[in-house]
Amino acid sequence: MSKTAYTKQFLSYSAQIELLKSRGLAFDDERKTLHLLKKIGYHRLSAYWHPLLADKQSSIFKLNSNFETAFNLYKFDRELRKLISGELEKIEIAVRSEMAYLLSSIFGQFGMEKESLFSNPAIYNKTLLKIKEEVSRNDADSIVSFKSTYSNSLPPSFMLLEVTSFGTLLRIYTNLSSGRITKDISKIFGLSNSVLTSW
């Protein structure tokens, strides 16, 4: 499929409203719409009026389509994301805590630095570089205090796993050579290892 250059012109907020009107979208309160376009943006909101389109190619709206319907979808999505985010945070904290405890109790406080604990040395070395980068950027009091007090290149696992990104945490988890640890962690959550990893 051949590509073409992007030729759409910049539109002011009022011109955006006029364009939507010309395509069949109705507004209960144009002042409110103007405010929402300024605070949220046309592009983000367009995902929520997309289901209201009768013809997606020419962006023509279905009969009786209303901006408030699209905005209500946006509000629902925002609230749902807040709820999910709150629950995911609880799971993430619990996974971090369990991993830190098990790794420290089985392999020692600095087990993260033992390449032999991981099944793929190349992934381990990449992950270790990422961990060092994340620790060097982190300004949490515990990390700053550790770096200024101790000569170790990395903090202990319980501290380290609190400041790594969730992506790094997942790479550590999936690369552990001991299936026992991943099974023990997943069992705590009542899941199989494969299901927890996919989550």
Pairwise pLDDT comparison (141 vs 106), residue with the higher score: 141
Compute the 3-state secondary structure of the chain and give helix, strand, coil in percent, each to the nearest 5. 70, 5, 25
Tens of pLDDT, residues 42-60: 999 999 999 999 999 899 9
Tens of pLDDT, residues 61-83: 999 999 999 999 999 999 999 99
Pairwise pLDDT comparison (190 vs 40), residue with the higher score: 40
154 vs 146: CA distance, rounded Å:
9
Of the pLDDT bands very low, low, confident and very high (cuts 50, 70, 90), residue 199 is low
Question: Who's near 6: CB < 8 A, 6+ residues apart?
Answer: none
* Sign of CA pseudo-dihedral 104, 106, 108, 113: negative
69 Rama class: left (phi>0) / alpha (psi -120 to 50) / beta: alpha
Of the pLDDT bands very low, low, confident and very high (cuts 50, 70, 90), residue 170 is confident
39 vs 59: CA distance, rounded Å:
23
Q: Give me 47's structure tokens.
A: 């995902």
Window from 28-32, 111-115, 190-194 with minimum mean pLDDT: 190-194
Q: How far is CA 140 from CA 136, 163, 167, 168, in A?
A: 11, 8, 19, 18
Residue bearing tokens 């990104």: 165
**pTM of the complete model:** 0.63
* Mean of the per-residue pLDDT values of the chain: 90
Secondary structure letter of residue 192 according to DSSP? -
Q: Give me 5's structure tokens.
A: 């250059």
Mean pLDDT of 178-194: 78
Task: Count the Cβ atoms, other than its own, within 10 Å of residue 1.
Answer: 2
Q: Which of 167, 166, 165, 150 lies closest to 110, judged by CA?
A: 150
Tens of pLDDT, residues 155-165: 998 899 988 98
Res 72: pLDDT: 97
Mean pLDDT of 103-117: 86
CA dihedral 18, 19, 21, 24 (to 10 degrees): 170
Res 38: pLDDT: 96
